[in-house]
Amino acid sequence: MDPRHLPIYEIEDDLVQAAHGGGRRIVLQAPTGSGKSTQVPQMLLDHGLVPPGKTVVILQPRRLAARLLAVRVAEERRVALGDEVGYQIRFENRTGPGTRVIYVTEGILLRRLVSDPTLADIAVLVFDEFHERHLFGDITLARALQLQQTLRPDLTLIVMSATLDGAAVQKYLEPCALLQAEGRMFPVRMEYLAKPVDSDRTPIWVTAAAATADLLAREPQGDVLVFMPGAYEIHRTIQALAAEPAARHCAIMPLHGELPVRDQDAAVSPCERRKIIVSTNVAETSLTIAGVRLVVDGGLARVARFDPYRGIDTLWIEKISRASADQRAGRAGRTAPGVCLRLWTEREQAERPLRDMAEIKRVDLAETVLMLKAGGCPDVRAFPWFEAPDSRALDRAETLLKDLNALNEAGTEVTPTGLRMLAFPVHPRYARMLLAAEGYGCVRSMALIAALTQERNLLLKRVDAMVEEQRERRLGDEEQSDVFLLMRAWVEASAHDFDVEYCRRLGIHASTARQAGRLYETFCRIAGGEGLTLEPDLILDDRVRRCLLAGFADQVARRLDGGTLRCELVHGRRGVLERASVVRKSPFLVVAEVREVESGGGRDMDVLLSLATAIEPEWLEELFAGAVREEQRVRFDDSRRVVAERGRYYHDMVLEVKRGGVPSESDAARLLADEVQAGRCTLKLWNEEVDQWILRVNSLRRWCPDLGLPEITAADRRLMIEAICLGAMSVKEVKDRAVSPVVKSWLDGRQQSLLDKHAPDRLVMPGGKRVKVTYTEAAPPSVAVRIQDLYGVPDSLRIAMGRQTVVIQVLAPNFRPVQVTSDLTTFWKESYPKVKKELQRKYPKHEWR
């Protein structure tokens, strides 16, 4: 098919004209299948909008899409990949001196902005599939906009998507042109399930396999694309499809980012048999897979989130948004009319969110903050975010970077160590470990560890007894580190040239091991280029364990007991050590992964600690002397008496503690006050009278600020409780303590006199009756008074130098209320005659005036 028949060519002239305009900012909305990802860069090149020696760079959210799009465009232009057209993704660069069109993943360009802040050889930046709102895409757009407004007014920026909120992007880029291409290539018929799926009873892969088989039977033409949330679900779906008679003659292939390139290419290439591709959301955007006319959408995706309040990563299967569902449906209409079967009901479709949450709101920002500060943005809160992240996430990122010595103490400047860390295309933790390894002489070992932890787990889980036996025999016993076990497994796989059958017998992912080997070589090459000395052989000893601690200082854990896997981490967190961990005997460990995962069939969640390494407590003082301190703390013993302990602490985590010493009175008082405020200890004499006294003080201060009375705050109440507890050493001693003298001592004699005069606890009526005044925070003060006691009070009752009217609950002789008023004049004139007439018959012996 001639690419010029693609719908995107309807706006070719408008695009060229806008790109020639002075603004050089374009928002392009075009439906899936319109050809924007492959054709827009070629239009720009063919119309001379990319000057000689310059390039058009297209940012892609996913590595698979970047690579396959470059291959497609190179084929269309009949050039070798890496010549005129190329791509660059993490750890792979297929470009050359003459490359004019480059597809890159977003992080590549953001890192380049640090070393080449003017992007001198780039004429056009195209942000493809911007609706996905990947973190690096957001940041790179903001940096590119800053660059265009200052040093590079000639730089053209184009933002593209099928389901983009064009108005929001247009407002952010103002002034800019908004272009829209109409019409999908071919219509797609939408189908839904008749009733919701009970996922607790029926796994999604079972539902998907049955739905796919039904669709194959009803639709005799076209390949099928099935969307699943992850590699595990893909595997189970393929197993279920193999048992379906309708799929027996089909080629069933997986597609996800962890597959080797050969297998990815096989999934998207033409096939002699009818094909079923079971994919994650890597196939959701950008890619046209020839032959696909049917889509079965499971409606789910694995979504990574970072909780800045607990400092943990979460990975949950979540329902995709309507925008993502539309993108997936568009895969069916690329080359012919298609069908999309959604495995949820039409009613459920309306309940889904319109768009996915932007990555900037849900991921760890440490690497981003480091790159921004290194790129000339010391105050990341003042950065022109397209959508600003949570301030807590920025705080945690800066704290971690300071802990890693990547930022100065103020957090405003990148240190020389931080700049060196940017040379390594990994999370700052691993970059820091690589640099620390220079001092310990284990750079090569840390390079391998960094490589092994970038992709999926090298070792299969839940293997049978035979594989366990083979592992133990070949890899040996390991108790110090889960990472050491991975290293031994990789060395064993490497020694056998990553033979698939040999790796299978040991439960090793051969393709993952091979990929880790390539990353290992890359990291060693970068380390050598940074002047680090590479030791001749791999090392598995205390030096490596210390380096791991250097990178994960905030993920130190202590086993709570020997009988379970429960642990406490620094900063008040708890978690459970992964069952497969080999680190079972060490009371202290550092973990490379802290994740929140589903448990109990998806109804509960656990904080899982994995990739653990045993450490010695003294290393903490050796590496982080400022974070280890000795101090005395107090606690309750079994009899609820305050006792003192002397301990060593790493941040807030106990390293060693010994009973001894006498608790200070102030420490004991603080601990006892905690019990009182928590409701576990009652001060019997803290009664309503005390609360009313505090309300009187605060009310009078509010009504008459000129009297200069202090406000009694929640913090002051806390100090009062501590003062009451002072001198006590047990809960029993506190209960009967005097309260009123301590509370009333908050005012001096003059202030107490003013309080009694202007906010009295009782008012005296003309007949001598003293009536209680009730104070509240939100309402005026009030009294309850019998009618006979109000005789002689012609007008309203007032306190606080006459500034505050008192609400009166007028009582009958039997003390039952008959009226509530704050205006006695009106009461005597209008209401009293009626009240008197009625009550005088009932109570003739009482005085009635």
The pLDDT, as a whole number, for residue 185 is 67
Contacts of 416 (CB under 8 A, 6+ apart): none
Range with the lowest mean pLDDT among 78-82, 181-185, 633-637, 816-820? 181-185
Give the full edge-to-edge strand order of the sheet including 55-60.
92-94, 85-89, 101-105, 55-60, 122-127, 156-161, 25-29, 177-180
Cβ proximity of 554 and 311 under 8 Å: yes
0.75 surpassed by pTM: no
Indicate the SS3 state at residue 164. Answer: coil
The pLDDT, as a whole number, for residue 601 is 47
Cβ proximity of 443 and 529 under 8 Å: no
Q: Report the chain's mean pLDDT, rounded to a whole number.
A: 89
The pLDDT, as a whole number, for residue 184 is 60
Q: CA geometry: angle at 757 spanning 687 and 817, to 5°?
A: 60
Which uninterrupted H or E stretch holds 428?
helix 428-440
Which amino acid type is present at position 62? R
**In the numeric block, which tokens belong to residue 184?**
């999908």
Is the per-residue pLDDT at 315 higher than 70?
A: no
Which uninterrupted H or E stretch holds 782?
strand 782-786
Is the per-residue pLDDT at 308 higher than 80?
A: no
User: Residue 666 — very low, low, confident or very high, per pLDDT cuts 50/70/90?
Assistant: very high
CA–CA gap between residue 238 and residue 276 (Å, rounded): 9
Model pLDDT for residues 149-167, shown as the tens digit of each residue: 999 999 999 998 876 677 8
Average pLDDT (142-146) is 91
| Cα–Cα nearest to 505, from 537, 459, 452 | 459
Is the per-residue pLDDT at 562 higher than 90?
A: no
The pLDDT, as a whole number, for residue 375 is 85
Q: What is the CA radius of gyration of the chain?
A: 36
DSSP conformation class of 356: P
User: Residue 596 — very low, low, confident or very high, per pLDDT cuts 50/70/90?
Assistant: confident
| Residue 349 CB-half CA count within 13 A | 19
Model pLDDT for residues 222-233, shown as the tens digit of each residue: 999 999 998 889
Model pLDDT for residues 627-640, shown as the tens digit of each residue: 888 888 888 888 89
In angstroms, the Cα distances linking 419 to 336, 413, 530 are: 51, 10, 11
The pLDDT, as a whole number, for residue 651 is 86
Burial 105-126 (b: 16+ CB within 10 A, else e): bbbbbbbbbbeebebeebbbbb
User: Residue 310 — very low, low, confident or very high, per pLDDT cuts 50/70/90?
Assistant: very low
Residue with tokens 């070798």: 80
Average pLDDT (180-193) is 83
Cβ proximity of 393 and 342 under 8 Å: no
Query: What's the length of the chain?
Result: 849
CA–CA gap between residue 702 and residue 689 (Å, rounded): 20
Average pLDDT (586-593) is 93
| Cα–Cα nearest to 368, from 114, 155, 160, 169 | 114
Is the per-residue pLDDT at 599 higher than 70?
A: no
Cβ proximity of 624 and 608 under 8 Å: no
Model pLDDT for residues 402-460, shown as the tens digit of each residue: 888 899 888 889 999 899 888 888 889 988 998 889 999 999 999 999 889 876 778 88
The pLDDT, as a whole number, for residue 88 is 94
The pLDDT, as a whole number, for residue 468 is 84
CA–CA gap between residue 205 and residue 317 (Å, rounded): 14
The pLDDT, as a whole number, for residue 212 is 95
Q: 456 φ, ψ to 5°?
A: -70, 165
Is the per-residue pLDDT at 614 higher than 90?
A: yes
The C-alpha torsion from 235 through 239 and 240 to 246, rounded to 10°, is: 120
Average pLDDT (543-571) is 90
Contacts of 316 (CB under 8 A, 6+ apart): 302, 303, 305, 596, 598
Is the per-residue pLDDT at 708 higher than 60?
A: yes
Question: Is the pLDDT higher at 4 or at 819?
Answer: 819
Cβ proximity of 484 and 540 under 8 Å: yes
Cβ proximity of 731 and 681 under 8 Å: yes
Cβ proximity of 242 and 374 under 8 Å: no
Q: Which of the given ranges, 88-97, 255-264, 723-732, has the highest pLDDT on average?
A: 723-732
Q: What percent of the chain has a predicted confidence (pLDDT) above 90? A: 52
Is the per-residue pLDDT at 743 higher than 80?
A: yes
The pLDDT, as a whole number, for residue 260 is 81
User: Residue 286 — very low, low, confident or very high, per pLDDT cuts 50/70/90?
Assistant: low
Range with the lowest mean pLDDT among 590-594, 644-648, 687-691? 644-648
The pLDDT, as a whole number, for residue 99 is 96
Q: What percent of the chain has a predicted confidence (pLDDT) above 70? A: 96
The pLDDT, as a whole number, for residue 340 is 95
Is the per-residue pLDDT at 183 higher than 80?
A: no
Residue with tokens 């005997």: 585
Indicate the SS3 state at residue 152. Answer: coil
Question: Is the pLDDT higher at 340 or at 660?
Answer: 340
User: Residue 604 — very low, low, confident or very high, per pLDDT cuts 50/70/90?
Assistant: low
Model pLDDT for residues 454-503, shown as the tens digit of each residue: 767 788 877 888 888 888 888 888 889 999 999 999 999 999 999 989 99
**In the numeric block, which tokens belong to residue 28?**
């392009």
Indicate the SS3 state at residue 815. Answer: coil
User: Alpha carbon 275 to chain centroid distance?
Assistant: 37
Question: Is the pLDDT higher at 76 or at 304?
Answer: 76
Is the per-residue pLDDT at 309 higher than 60?
A: no
Is the per-residue pLDDT at 551 higher than 50?
A: yes
Is the per-residue pLDDT at 285 higher than 80?
A: no
